[in-house]
Amino acid sequence: MKHETRAEALAAKLRRRMVQQHLQGRDITDQRVLDAMGRVPRHKFVASHLQDQAYEDCPLSIGHQQTISQPYIVALMTQLLRPESNSRALDIGTGSGYQAAVLAELTKEVYSVEIIAPLAESAQKRLQTLGYDNITVRCGDGYHGWPEQAPFDLIVVAAAAPDGVPESLIKQLTLGGRMLIPVGTSNQELLFIEKQCDGHVKEATIAPVRFVPMTRKASNH
Catalytic residues: 69
If phi > 0 it is left, if psi is from -120 to 50 it is alpha, else beta; for residue 199 that is left
Please work out the total of residues on this chain that contact ligand SAH, with binding judged by CB under 6 A: 24
Q: For residues 65 and 187, which CB has a smaller minimum distance to ligand SAH in the complex?
A: 65
Residues between 98 and 127 with contacts to ligand SAH, criterion CB under 6 A = 98-99, 113-116, 119
Torsion of Cα atoms, 94 then 96 then 99 then 101, to 10°: 100
Q: For residues 159 and 197, which CB has a smaller minimum distance to ligand SAH in the complex?
A: 159
Site string for ligand SAH, 51-80 (x = CB under 6 A): ---------------xxxx-----------
Compute the radius of gyration of the chain from its Cα atoms: 17
Cβ of 124: how many Cβ atoms within 10 Å? 21
Alpha-carbon distance of 180 to 170, in angstroms, equals: 11
Q: Tell me the CA distances in angstroms from 214 to 72, 150, 182, 220, one per residue in order.
A: 21, 21, 9, 13
Contact 183, 203 (CB under 8 A): no
Q: Which of 71, 95, 145, 182 binds ligand SAH (CB under 6 A)?
A: 95
- CB under 6 A: which stretch of 9-17, 33-41, 92-100, 146-154 binds ligand SAH? 92-100
| Side chain identity at residue 147, one-letter code | P
Q: For residues 36 and 113, which CB has a smaller minimum distance to ligand SAH in the complex?
A: 113
Q: Strand pairing of 109-114 and 152-157?
A: unpaired
Q: Which of 93, 145, 166, 182 binds ligand SAH (CB under 6 A)?
A: 93
Residues between 198 and 217 with contacts to ligand SAH, criterion CB under 6 A = 212, 214-216
Nearest distance in Å: CB 114, ligand SAH: 5
- For position 142 contacting ligand SAH by CB under 6 A, the verdict is yes
State yes or no: cis peptide before 151, omega within 30 of 0: yes
Residue 186 per-residue DSSP state = S
Q: Strand pairing of 212-213 and 159-160?
A: parallel
Q: Which of 60, 75, 90, 92 binds ligand SAH (CB under 6 A)?
A: 92
- CB under 6 A: which stretch of 13-21, 139-147, 185-193, 198-206 binds ligand SAH? 139-147
Where do contacts with ligand SAH occur on this chain (CB under 6 A)?
66-69, 92-93, 95-96, 98-99, 113-116, 119, 141-143, 158-159, 212, 214-216
